[in-house]
Amino acid sequence: MLNSMTGFAAGRKDIPGLGRVTIQLKSTNHKFLEIVFSLPEGFLAWEEKIRKEVEPKFKRGRLLCAVNIVFAKRGRVVLHKEIIRQYIKQISQLRHEFGLQGKADIDTVLKLPGVLSMAETEFEKEKAWEQFKGLLAGVLNDLVISRKKEGRALAGFLRSKAERLKKELRLIGDKFEKMVEERTKRLASAEERSCFLKEADITEELERLSFHVKSFLAKLAKGGCIGKELDFLAQEMQREANTMAAKSCHAGITARVVQVKSQIEKIREQVQNIE
């Protein structure tokens, strides 16, 4: 089974002593696993805990973890006096250096970032974490399901495109054999026939491209974390198709190769989303 790297899941829970907690997980494609956090002020320490819950479930993808808390009864108010001193010092320096007028009153100072905060005890946060962890587990499970569902759809799409490629390659092979037979009959000497075949022969490219398509389908059937392997095979398919297009000297074959390249481009776009 394939997993997509795109997905979304969310959950909400009222946690006693903390408030209404909402978790949103949004996953998009990425070369590696990258976790980006958006947590409320004062909960930075939870990043590592959340990371340990997330990492075992995913191999690749950029995952945005956004946590919002509508706090119930908060802890005590903390006034950060040292931060206020630094603000006042900087304001005084600005006034002196640029000749500014006016003073910073208490209302202005209290609105500055970092001056006030709410503090819970570590014990309260630990109790909240255990319930948060249960909510997180449910949201992670929903995200796994979402990525698997998208993965099934992607697998079906890629399989259909690869099967179509197989048919196109058989048609190109048949057309090429007929074209060679007709052209060589009109060429006068063995040297001319040899020169023609050297420049126009796409047999090797057809064989390699067919092999890559077969490998692609086999990996799709196997499933797992194969996004990078599928992308590599798609690149190799594109390489062979480009060579075929450059060597083709028959309008009918060229038209078929254009169709092949179009299918490969669609495959390459979608394998970027496979884990």
Condensed to tens digits (0 to 9), the pLDDT of residues 127-149 reads: 889 999 999 999 999 999 999 99
pLDDT at 98: 76
φ, ψ of residue 198 to 5 degrees: the values are -65, -40
pLDDT level of residue 88 (50, 70, 90 thresholds)? confident
Question: What's the CATH code, domain 152-271?
Answer: 1.20.120
Question: Among residues 139, 145, 17, 123, which one has the least CA distance to residue 69?
Answer: 17
Choose the weakest-confidence range: 100-104, 223-227, 228-232, 265-269.
100-104
Tell the CATH topology of 7-75+120-148.
Ribosomal Protein S5; domain 2 (3.30.230)
pLDDT at 196: 64
| CB under 8 A, 24+ apart: contacts of 72-78 | 72/16, 72/17, 72/18, 72/19, 72/20, 73/17, 74/118, 74/120, 75/118, 75/119, 75/120, 75/121, 75/124, 76/118, 76/119, 77/116, 77/117, 77/118, 77/119, 78/116, 78/117, 78/118, 78/119
pLDDT in tens, 91-129: 888 777 777 777 777 888 778 888 777 665 454 778 889
Using a pLDDT cut of 70, give the percent of the chain over it. Answer: 91
Mean pLDDT for the stretch of residues 37-59: 93
Number of CB atoms found within 10 A of residue 170's CB: 12
Asked whether the beta carbons of 19 and 69 are under 8 A apart, the reply is yes
CA distance 55 to 51: 6
Residue 130, both tokens: 């255990």
193 pLDDT higher than 70: no
pLDDT at 120: 54
pLDDT in tens, 174-190: 988 888 777 776 766 76
Mean pLDDT for the stretch of residues 161-168: 94
Mean pLDDT for the stretch of residues 12-39: 94
pLDDT at 76: 64
Question: Among residues 174, 176, 233, which one has the least CA distance to residue 200?
Answer: 176
3-class SS of residue 208: helix
Asked whether the beta carbons of 248 and 199 are under 8 A apart, the reply is no
Domain coordinates in residue numbering, the chain: 7-75+120-148, 77-110, 152-271
CA distance 31 to 144: 18
